[in-house]
A and B are shown apart, each in its own frame.
Chain A
């Protein structure tokens, strides 16, 4: 007999939801038969606000688009402006940028560890990983002055040089985190609850993944080696030595493993940038920001963030304000079409589990 179907709203006020959004589910018994994402609870109209601000003022608000990992936004915006204007960036600034991006990636993954384990009911994990994330935020505080919003990577280079003693402190933190990853394994990946919950849940079809617009760790979790750092190298990634893990499977478990391996790679990249960093200038000075005009043109740039490809499409009309800055975060596809399709046939209790593994972040969807 067919069970009666019920409408169930998850969010916006729900402890399991990732951010401020809502998923409207049609359920039969415990099984989801239809899902619909509702967003717009965080819409601030960034792209409208940037039409009113000049190029440097816009730089201060782009980082607020993605809260867990603001640096890819700054880097993207800076690189797009540089590409349109043809501004050179000093080599040292490029290394500092890569280091900042990788630190941000580690911080974002540590937060994800907490969210993923928390949504399976393992509350020790957030206590550990979010606590350890503070060490990276301390590094950011030394480097940029801010814990969450750094406003550090700007057109022409970076805002400050490395402070005194930063290198030693960063290397020490990296050593500490590398040791901690093994302990996380014991807590999370060897936990039979997590294994049973994660294996075989939320499977993305490998053959359709690229066509559906899947990017980042979920795509690599399908066994497809795709990473903007390798496919479309930016800054100095082509001079660094690192691997991009890819594994067959496509479920929550594989995506979790991919992220676990990527933390190690990021730690490796941070070490390399600190070793190879050349001396010299860190900033190619821009003219008076009030009168700073960018020649007409457009640029499409992208960065690999912790959740996937982050892309900016920037258009200039030759004035001192951007004509259009369009931001596309990975969650724009992951959180809407992909999530709506993945949830069908899954258990209600796995909804927030799958959302966490896709890294759904609503501020990117509505901006």
Chain B
């Protein structure tokens, strides 16, 4: 088959359609937002209706859910986890504290802007966001995936040096292996 523009569009459409309906979320509760994940996943709100379910390891996950503030010690592990995940991968930042620091804007141990360290596709604000808000955030991510706009992982590859500089500013003892894809 000749690779013209139109058939590429069809392939993209099918790919994106498949991706958006099976979002495997990494089971990593980085902050207090993890408390609203069990209600979202269980009977009343039942996120599995949207094809959202948990994955145990980074290699099998599509979505990294940053549930709340990130302490600098966790940031190191989050970066490592994010780099272990396979493309395409998406990041949902959960809670006001990932946007601008929220309650902990003057804390010496938590970062204030998550998108300076790893690319973020969708932000969900609130402290704490309700399960409805979480689901709405996921639906927004699905729309973005379908439209082909959820390309944070490409941004990370393109601007790796900039992200690395920001990360190394905080993580003083950098002992992680180099990221290559």
A binds B: yes
Provide the residues of chain B in CB contact with A15, threshold 8 Å: 27, 54, 56
Q: Which of B28, B32, B36, B42 contacts A127 (CB 8 A)?
A: B42
Cβ of B164 under 8 Å from chain A: no
Tell whether A149 pairs with B127 under 8 Å between CB atoms, given A44-B69, A130-B38, A131-B43. Answer: yes
Q: Nearest B residue to A366 by beta-carbon distance?
A: B71
Q: Which of A12, A40, A134 contacts B44 (CB 8 A)?
A: A134
Q: Does the CB pair B32–A12 fall under 8 Å?
A: no
Task: Digitize B60-75: 1 where CB-to-A-CB distance is under 8 Å, 0 elsewhere.
Answer: 0000000001010110
Which of B11-19, B102-110, B149-157, B167-175 lies at the binding interface? B102-110
Q: Does the CB pair A147–B73 fall under 8 Å?
A: no
Q: Does the CB pair A49–B106 fall under 8 Å?
A: yes
Alpha-carbon distance A43/B30, docked complex (angstroms)? 11
Cβ of B128 under 8 Å from chain A: yes
Alpha-carbon distance A13/B61, docked complex (angstroms)? 12
Cβ of A122 under 8 Å from chain B: no
Chain A nearest CB, measured from B135 CB (Å): 14
A-B contact count (CB 8 A): 89
Q: Does the CB pair B30–A131 fall under 8 Å?
A: no
Q: Does the CB pair A114–B38 fall under 8 Å?
A: yes
Which of A60-68, A169-177, A255-263 lies at the binding interface? A60-68
Cβ of A245 under 8 Å from chain B: no
Cβ of A363 under 8 Å from chain B: yes
Tell whether A44 pairs with B39 under 8 Å between CB atoms, given A13-B81, A149-B128. Answer: no
Tell whether A42 pairs with B71 under 8 Å between CB atoms, given A13-B28, A13-B77, A148-B128. Answer: yes
Provide the residues of chain B in CB contact with A134, threshold 8 Å: 39, 44
Q: Does the CB pair B71–A61 fall under 8 Å?
A: no
Chain B nearest CB, measured from A214 CB (Å): 25
Cβ of A291 under 8 Å from chain B: no
Q: Does the CB pair B109–A41 fall under 8 Å?
A: no
Alpha-carbon distance A199/B146, docked complex (angstroms)? 50
Q: Which of A12, A41, A67 contacts B35 (CB 8 A)?
A: A67
Provide the residues of chain A in CB contact with B109, threshold 8 Å: 43-45
Tell whether A19 pairs with B107 under 8 Å between CB atoms, given A42-B71, A130-B39. Answer: no
Q: Does the CB pair B38–A49 fall under 8 Å?
A: no
Task: Digitize B110-135: 1 where CB-to-A-CB distance is under 8 Å, 0 elsewhere.
Answer: 10000000000000000110100000
Provide the residues of chain B in CB contact with A42, threshold 8 Å: 31-32, 71, 74
Q: Does the CB pair A48–B128 fall under 8 Å?
A: no
Cβ of A20 under 8 Å from chain B: yes
Tell whether A45 pairs with B108 under 8 Å between CB atoms, given A13-B28, A147-B130. Answer: yes
Q: Does the CB pair A20–B43 fall under 8 Å?
A: no
Chain B nearest CB, measured from A107 CB (Å): 10
Provide the residues of chain B in CB contact with A64, threshold 8 Å: 32, 103
Provide the residues of chain B in CB contact with A127, threshold 8 Å: 42-43
Q: Does the CB pair A12–B104 fall under 8 Å?
A: no
Q: Does the CB pair A12–B77 fall under 8 Å?
A: yes
Chain A nearest CB, measured from B168 CB (Å): 20
Task: Digitize B64-96: 1 where CB-to-A-CB distance is under 8 Å, 0 elsewhere.
Answer: 000001010110010001000000000000000
Cβ of B58 under 8 Å from chain A: yes
Tell whether A20 pairs with B128 under 8 Å between CB atoms, given A42-B71, A126-B38, A127-B42. Answer: no
Cβ of B51 under 8 Å from chain A: no
Q: Does the CB pair A133–B108 fall under 8 Å?
A: no
Provide the residues of chain B in CB contact with A40, threshold 8 Å: 71, 73
Provide the residues of chain B in CB contact with A13, threshold 8 Å: 26-28, 58, 77, 81
Residue from B32, B43, B103, B128 with most neighbouring chain A CB atoms (10 Å) = B32
Q: Nearest A residue to B74 by beta-carbon distance?
A: A41
Provide the residues of chain A in CB contact with B106, threshold 8 Å: 49, 52
Cβ of B139 under 8 Å from chain A: no
Cβ of B148 under 8 Å from chain A: no
16 of the cross-chain contacts (CB-CB < 8 Å) are A20-B29, A20-B31, A20-B34, A41-B73, A41-B74, A42-B31, A44-B71, A44-B110, A45-B104, A45-B109, A67-B34, A127-B43, A131-B44, A134-B39, A134-B44, A137-B39
For the A-B complex with A40-B71, A41-B30, A45-B110 known, give 13 more contacts whose Cβ atoms are closer than 8 Å: A12-B74, A12-B77, A15-B54, A15-B56, A44-B107, A45-B104, A45-B109, A49-B107, A60-B103, A111-B35, A114-B38, A147-B36, A148-B128
Residues of A near any B CB (own CB < 8 A): 12-13, 15, 19-20, 40-45, 48-49, 52, 60-61, 64, 67-68, 111, 114, 126-128, 130-131, 133-134, 137, 147-149, 363
